[in-house]
Amino acid sequence: MHNSHFDIPFNVPFIHPDVANYMQKAAKENNFFRNQGYYYQQVQKIMSKWVGHSRIFPTPSCTQALEIASMIIDIQHGDEIILPSYTYASTANAFVLRGAKLVFADVLSYYPSLDPKSVEACITPKTKAIVWVHYGGRATRPEEIITLSNKYNITLIEDAAHAIGATHNNRPLGTFGDMSTISFHETKNIGCAQGGALIINQHKWLEKAMQHIQCGTNRHDFISGKINAYKWMREGTNGILAEPLCAMLSFQLHHLETVTRRRKKLWNHYYHLLNPITEKGIQICTPDKEDNAHVFYLMLPDKKTCTHYQQTLKEKGIHSATHYEPLHLSPFMQSSKLISHLPNTDKFGISLLRLPLHHYITEDQQQYVANQILDLTFKKK
């Protein structure tokens, strides 16, 4: 129990106040259950303006988009995939399910995204793909990652689950790799409860992508009138986001800029309020004008301190959260006896604490959060 009048949730999904009316109207005026219907196409249309092409496929989840990506590049048993250990299990599962060997590269010392030097050290003749996770909706050292992909002729897949609305040099994240995946889960800046998207940036992958998404069939040719009946062409899955969720997502996406602008304002407010704690050696998330303000975190000295801060904040009515247990330390990977030396990843795994950040948090609530952290940091012994 806590004695504060504040009760600040870690996350509240953005839901536009008019979405219920929109959904009711949509259900009456359109074929609401049609596979790849009007609203599916609306999501494609809206996102195509963002990424600059139309090779976009709304999927039931970012997880499934990653699994489709692994089919597209034809992962075989023993192929090696380079990825960060500091990510969600979905990033790895997509490739483990097809028999790939995971090779974990370390993250940067100052931010939990792939370190290009560590990536290059992991490359072997068996490397099939690099999976580049944009942690917190931010691209770090993109030129170096892309150069490695080109130098060694390795497919680059962007796991841009966090990155809707984020850019680098005014170019949207999700458009740098050969293909990319986006999440519209309720925890993301914009969502539809559960959903994702697969973006195909290389035209050579398009035909395979459309077949893998349609249960391995050439149904897209049937829909376009090119053939009279469709056939099973290759392995696949039902990778199509349901029309009611597409309706919700198409409406929500119209408000992406507003949501991103609001989150950036809130992010900057935290940054200015909490800057004093850096005097005590506590690292706070550094600014990046082109990220989408998906997370704001503190880096505390050790696990004990991180746990103490989290528990104390909870007692004050503030719900904070750590993030990933590094995959190389997970029970699943421990059973594989894979040995990985990832000192930076280990540090983020035990020391990173995320603060409440969502569309509905107020500046008064942020001030209260900051005050509790400042008291914790500067209190007299």
- Given a contact cutoff of 8 angstroms between Cβ atoms, the answer to whether 352 and 346 are in contact is no
- Given a contact cutoff of 8 angstroms between Cβ atoms, the answer to whether 290 and 168 are in contact is yes
The secondary structure element, H or E, covering residue 82 is strand 80-84
| Strand blocks (E) in 234-314 | 283-284, 297-299
Cβ neighbours, 10 Å, residue 88: 18
Query: What residue spans in the chain does CATH classification 3.40.640.10 cover?
Result: 19-253
| SS3 of residue 284 by DSSP | strand
Q: How many CA atoms lie within 13 A of 2 on its CB side?
A: 14
Write the pLDDT tens digit of every residue in 352-363.
999 999 999 999
Q: Angle 253-259-260 (CA atoms, 0-180°, nearest 5)? A: 100
* Confidence at residue 1, expressed as pLDDT on a 0 to 100 scale: 41
Helical H runs in 152-225?
206-213, 219-223
Q: Does domain 256-378 have CATH number 3.40.50.300?
A: no
Q: How far apart are CA 223 and CA 264, in angstroms?
A: 42
| SS3 of residue 17 by DSSP | coil
179-183/155-160 β-pairing = parallel
| CATH hierarchy code of domain 19-253 | 3.40.640.10
For 319, the token pair is 């719900």
The secondary structure element, H or E, covering residue 258 is helix 256-274
Distance between start and end Cα atoms, the chain = 25
**Residue 130 β-bridge partners:** 82, 156
Find where tokens 């009611």 sit: 244
* Confidence at residue 223, expressed as pLDDT on a 0 to 100 scale: 87
* Confidence at residue 5, expressed as pLDDT on a 0 to 100 scale: 66
* Confidence at residue 77, expressed as pLDDT on a 0 to 100 scale: 94
- Given a contact cutoff of 8 angstroms between Cβ atoms, the answer to whether 104 and 345 are in contact is yes
Find where tokens 């959904």 sit: 23
pTM of the shown model: 0.95
Query: What residue spans in the chain does CATH classification 3.90.1150.10 cover?
Result: 256-378
Q: How many CA atoms lie within 13 A of 232 on its CB side?
A: 5
| SS3 of residue 91 by DSSP | helix
Find where tokens 């209260």 sit: 368
pLDDT in tens for each of the 381 residues of the chain? 444 568 999 999 999 999 999 999 999 987 898 889 999 999 999 999 999 999 999 999 999 999 999 999 999 999 999 999 999 999 999 999 999 999 999 999 999 999 999 999 999 999 999 999 999 999 999 999 999 999 999 999 999 999 999 999 999 999 999 999 999 999 999 999 999 999 999 999 999 999 999 999 999 999 889 999 999 999 999 999 999 999 999 999 999 999 999 999 999 999 999 999 999 999 999 999 999 999 999 999 999 999 999 999 999 999 999 999 999 999 999 877 676 899 999 999 999 999 999 999 999 999 999 999 999 999 854
